[in-house]
Amino acid sequence: MSGERAETHAALLISAAATRPDHVLLDWQGRAITTDEVCQQAQALAAGLRAAGVQAGDAVALMLDNHPDHVALIFALALSGAVWVPLNPKLKGPAIRHIIQVTDPVLGVADDDHAADIRETGFSRPVLTLADLMATAAGTTPPTGEGLTGESTRTILFTSGTTGAPKGVIVTERMLLSASRFAAMASGAQPGHRFHFWEPLIHVGGAQMLALALEQQATLVMVPRFSASRFWDEVRDGRVSRAHYLGGVLDILLKLPPDPKDRDHGLELAFGAGARPEVDAAFRERFGVRLVEVYGMTEASSFSTINHDGVAGSIGKAAPGVTITLRDPEGRVVPDGERGEIVLRTDPPTLMTPGYLGNPEATAELLQSDGLHTGDIAWRDKDGNYFFSGRSKDMIRHKGENVSAWEVERVLNDHPAIAESAVIGVPGALGEEDIMAFLRTATGTTLDLTELKAWCAERLAAFQMPRYIRRVEAFDLTPSERIRKGGLPRDTSDAEIF
pLDDT digits (tens, 9 = 90+) for 332-387: 999 999 989 999 999 999 999 999 999 999 999 999 999 999 998 899 999 999 99
In this structure, is residue 428 part of a structural domain?
yes
Whether residue 162 is predicted with pLDDT greater than 60 in this model: the reply is: no
- For residue 309, being part of any structural domain is answered with no
CA atoms within 13 A on the CB side of 222: 26
Q: Is the distance from CB of 417 to CB of 441 less than 8 angstroms? A: yes
Query: Could you tell me the CATH number of the domain that includes residue 229?
Result: 3.40.50.12780
Whether 385 maps to a domain, the answer reads no
Q: In angstroms, how far is the first alpha carbon of the chain from the final one?
A: 48
Query: Both 41 and 165 in a single domain?
Result: yes
Q: Are residues 78 and 200 located together in one domain of the fold?
A: yes
What are the b/e assignments for 446-459, b being 16+ CB within 10 Å? ebeeeebeebbeeb
Q: Are 177 and 10 in contact (CB under 8 A)?
A: no
Per-residue confidence at 481, pLDDT binned at 50, 70, 90?
low
State how far the Cα of 186 lies from the Cα of 269, in Å rounded to an integer: 10
Domain count, the chain: 2
Pick from 72, 89, 5, 62: which is nearest to 33 by CA?
72
Residue 137 within any structural domain of the chain: yes
Q: Are residues 53 and 177 in the same domain?
A: yes
The string of pLDDT tens digits covering residues 247-301 is 779 988 998 999 999 999 999 999 999 888 888 999 999 999 999 999 999 999 9
> Is 304 contained in some domain?
no
pLDDT digits (tens, 9 = 90+) for 300-322: 999 999 999 999 999 999 999 99
Q: What is the CATH number of the domain that holds 464?
A: 3.30.300.30
pLDDT at 15 over 90: yes
- Secondary structure of the chain: what % helix, strand, coil (to 5)? 30, 25, 40
- The Cα 211–Cα 57 span in angstroms is 21
Q: Are residues 404 and 266 in the same domain?
A: no
pLDDT tens digit sequence for 230-240: 999 999 999 99
Give every strand in the sheet of 305-306, ordered side by side.
31-34, 24-28, 219-222, 194-197, 242-246, 269-273, 290-295, 305-306, 317-318
Report how far residue 166's alpha carbon sits from residue 103's, in angstroms, rounded to the nearest whole number: 12
Average confidence score pLDDT of the chain: 94
pTM: 0.85
* Spatial contact of 422 and 241, defined as CB atoms under 8 Å apart: no
pLDDT tens track for 421-431: 999 999 987 77
Domain that holds residue 264: 9-287
Residue at a domain's end among 265, 287, 309: 287
Specify the pLDDT at position 478. Answer: 55
**Positions of E strands within 98-193:** 107-110, 127-128, 153-159, 167-172
Q: Are strands 386-391 and 305-306 parallel, antiparallel or unpaired?
A: unpaired
Q: Please report the pLDDT score of residue 372 as a whole number.
A: 98
Judge whether 127 and 108 are in contact, CB under 8 Å: yes
Residue 421 maps to a domain: yes
Out of 235, 252, 287, a domain closes at: 287
Peptide bond into 348 cis (omega under 30): yes
Domain boundary among 255, 287, 319: 287
The total of other beta-carbon atoms located within 10 Å of residue 286's CB is: 15
Does some domain include residue 377?
no
Q: Is residue 413 part of a domain?
A: yes
pLDDT confidence tier of residue 167, bands split at 50, 70 and 90: very high
Question: In this predicted model, what pLDDT tens digit does every residue of 179-238 receive, in sequence order?
Answer: 999 999 999 999 999 999 999 999 999 999 999 999 999 999 999 999 999 999 999 999
User: Do 279 and 409 lie in a common domain?
Assistant: no
